[in-house]
Amino acid sequence: MELLNLEGHLRIGLTPSDQIALSLHFEDQAAADRSWLVAQADQGNAPVSYLLARVLQSENDTEADDDDELEENAKHQQIFHHLKRAAKASHSMAQFHLAECYLNGRGVKQDFTKAVELYRRLADHGISQAQIALGGCYENGEGVDQEYNTAIEWYSKAADQGNRDWLCKHFMALCLHHGFGTTQDRMKAACVFEQLANDGHSDSQLRIGKYLHWGLGVLEDRITAFEWYSKSADQGNSYGQWMTGVCYYWGYGVTKDFAKAFEWYRRSAEQGNRYGQDSIGRCYKHGEGVPEDIDTAVLWYHKSADQGHKNAIERLKELGEWH
């Protein structure tokens, strides 16, 4: 029941063929006993491996706050193992979620290039979720050079398949923001992003926060910008977490607090965000919100620099740690 949405449908992406494959092996198994699933997965049953991974992911999302770091990492590795097994058998949704593991460094070393490779393969075959994810990689410059035109091309392909009303609106707002295919109008873009933000989309909450922060198409209002960043951050958006940290660090719309800045930078950095990694490096370098620790600062700067973040590279050069 925990795997069903409010309408009673499975929310973990099992296709009809997956459900048929599972039913052929279910027979009279006790529904609460998972051993038959494990046995089928060990025999190379891709739909079962995928189901196990998604069941474990669902449980982990529910119980994550109760786990220590080692236990949570072990669970992520187990999820990755099942996804990889199913992905090798050409299970498309397993490949999609495997890409997420590489993108976020969950259960495996973070590898943006590998994530993009998997997303692109699926996107080229018309899978809209992968087209959206690949568009996001181009929009944020993760694993590829940041290219808004290419991001919009992939968003557009997903939108052409009727995928998600919010995506079409996000795509339209990006065009208005950059003036792609239309007259640049950041006031209209801000209205669209605010509507999507009010609907609870974390990327749009981040966007409208930036508009208010810098006065793009709206009056500058850094107090409200901070509120939107915080809403995005609370949903686990690594860029929202980073910007919430930025606000605490510099006192934008909130009382300056290095300790809180460090905490939000840490959350962002641990999700692999290169900006968060650079910022947490600065905190360790200068002892802001955390005891000064040059070695740890260098470690985080390297993580950021390995993703091409120029500021982190410059800091490493200054410290004589960039070769």
Cβ–Cβ < 8 Å for 321, 296: no
Whether 2 and 80 map to the same domain: the answer is: yes
Q: How many residues can be counted in the chain? A: 323
Q: Is the dihedral of CA 223, 227, 232, 234 positive or negative?
A: positive
Enumerate the β-bridge partners of residue 10: 4
Q: Is residue 194 part of a domain?
A: no
Of the chain, the end-to-end C-alpha distance in Å amounts to 54
Cite the DSSP H helix spans in 125-201.
128-140, 148-160, 165-178, 186-198
Cβ contacts of residue 45 below 8 Å, gap of 6+?
21, 25
Rounded distance between C-alpha atoms, residue 46 and residue 170, angstroms: 34
Enclosing domain of residue 131: 112-163
Rounded distance between C-alpha atoms, residue 136 and residue 198, angstroms: 20
Report, as an integer, the average pLDDT of 60-64.
62
Smallest CA-to-CA distance from 202 within 174, 178, 234 is with 234
Looking at per-residue confidence, does 26 or 277 come out higher? 277
Residue with the two structure tokens 């300056």: 256
Q: Is residue 3 part of a domain?
A: yes
Q: Looking at residue 51, what is its pLDDT?
A: 80
Residue 295 identity (one-letter amino acid)? D
- Phi first, then psi, for residue 10 (nearest 5°) are -60, 135
Q: Looking at residue 6, what is its pLDDT?
A: 38
Rounded distance between C-alpha atoms, residue 213 and residue 216, angstroms: 8
Rounded distance between C-alpha atoms, residue 50 and residue 86, angstroms: 6
Residue 224 identity (one-letter amino acid)? T
Q: Looking at residue 154, what is its pLDDT?
A: 87
Q: Looking at residue 63, what is its pLDDT?
A: 60
Total domain count for the chain? 2
Cβ–Cβ < 8 Å for 265, 278: no
Whether 75 and 99 map to the same domain: the answer is: yes
Q: Is residue 275 part of a domain?
A: no
Digit-coded pLDDT (tens) for 236-250: 999 999 999 999 999
Q: Is the pLDDT of residue 255 over 70?
A: yes
Smallest CA-to-CA distance from 80 within 116, 43, 110 is with 110
Whether 93 and 11 map to the same domain: the answer is: yes
Cβ–Cβ < 8 Å for 250, 213: no
Whether 20 and 98 map to the same domain: the answer is: yes
Digit-coded pLDDT (tens) for 37-54: 666 667 667 777 888 788
Whether 155 and 71 map to the same domain: the answer is: no
Whether 52 and 42 map to the same domain: the answer is: yes
Please give the mean pLDDT across all residues of the chain.
Answer: 84
Digit-coded pLDDT (tens) for 305-323: 988 889 999 999 998 887 7
Q: Is residue 50 part of a domain?
A: yes
Q: Is the pLDDT of residue 143 over 80?
A: yes
Q: Is the pLDDT of residue 7 over 70?
A: no
Q: Which letter, b or e, does each residue of 112-129 get, where b requires 16 or more Cβ atoms within 10 Å of its Cβ? A: bebbbebbbebbeeebbb
Q: Is residue 240 part of a domain?
A: no
- Phi first, then psi, for residue 186 (nearest 5°) are -75, -20
* H or E, element range at 197: helix 186-198
Domain boundary among 67, 95, 110: 110
Give the CA distances from residue 81 to residues 25, 46, 91, 108, 298, in Å, rounded to whole numbers and listed in that order.
Answer: 21, 12, 14, 9, 31
Whether 96 and 140 map to the same domain: the answer is: no
